[in-house]
A and B are shown apart, each in its own frame.
Chain A
Amino acid sequence: MDLRDPPLSDEHDASGAKTTEFGGWEMPVEFDSIRTEHAAVRESAGKFDVSHMGQIEVSGPDAAELLNRLTTNDVASLDPGAAQYAMITDSEGVVLDDTVVYRLPAERDADFLFIPNAGHDGEMEDRWVDHRDEWGLEATVENRTTDYAMVAVQGPKAVELVGGAVDDALADLGRFSATATSLDGVEVVVARTGYTGEDGFELLAPWEDATAVWNAFDCQPCGLGARDTLRIEAGFLLSGQDFDPDENPRNPIEAGVSFAVDLDTEFVGRDALAAVAESGPEERFVGFELEARGIPRHGYEISADNEVVGTVTSGTMSPTLSTPLGMGYVPSALADPDTAIAVHVRGEPKDARIRPLPFYQR
Chain B
Amino acid sequence: MSFEVPEDRHYLESHEWARKDGETARIGISAFAQDELGDIVFVELPEEGDAVAHDEEFGVVESIKAVSDLYAPVSGTVSAVNDDVFDAPELLNEDPYGEGWLLEIDLEDGSEFDDLLDADAYRDQIE
Is A317 a contact partner of B42 (Cβ separation < 8 A)?
yes
B64 touches A297 (CB 8 A): no
A34 near B64: Cβ-Cβ < 8 Å: yes
Is there an interface contact between B1 and A35, defined as CB atoms closer than 8 Å? no
CA distance A225 to B38 in the complex (A): 10
| Chain B residue with Cβ nearest A33 | B39
- Give the contacts of B46-83 with A (CB-CB under 8 A): 60, 62-65, 67
B86 nearest CB neighbor, chain A only: A293
Query: Is A346 positioned at the interface, with any CB of B under 8 Å from its CB?
Result: yes
B87–chain A nearest beta-carbon distance, Å: 11
* Most chain B beta-carbon contacts within 10 A, residue among A229, A295, A319: A295
Contact A35 B64 (CB under 8 A): yes
Residues of A within 8 A of B60 (CB): 346
Which of B39, B42, B93 is A293 in contact with, Cβ under 8 Å? B42
Q: Kindly state whether residue B41 has any CB partner on chain A within 8 Å.
A: yes
A252 to B88, CA, bound (A): 40
**How distant is the Cα of A30 from the Cα of B37 in the complex, in angstroms?**
11
Interface 0/1 of A210-239, CB less than 8 Å to B? 000000000000000100110000000000
**Cβ–Cβ < 8 Å partners of B62 in chain A:** 295, 317
Per the bound structure, the CA–CA distance linking A316 and B86 in Å amounts to 17
Inside 8 A of A316's CB, which chain B residues have their CB? Answer: 64
User: Contact: A317 with B64, CB < 8 Å?
Assistant: yes
A229 x B64 contact (CB < 8 A): yes
Cα–Cα distance between A160 and B3 once the two chains are bound (Å): 39
Point out the residue from B1, B39, B42, B67 that lies within 8 Å of A34, measured CB to CB.
B39
A-to-B contact residues, CB < 8 Å: 16, 29-30, 33-35, 225, 228-229, 293-295, 297, 316-317, 319, 346
Contacts A33-B93, A295-B62, A346-B60 given; 18 further ones with Cβ under 8 A? A16-B1, A29-B65, A30-B65, A33-B38, A34-B38, A35-B39, A225-B38, A225-B64, A225-B65, A229-B64, A293-B42, A293-B86, A297-B67, A316-B64, A317-B62, A317-B64, A319-B39, A346-B67
9 nearest A-B residue pairs (beta carbon) = A317-B41, A35-B39, A34-B64, A225-B65, A33-B39, A295-B62, A34-B39, A295-B42, A34-B38
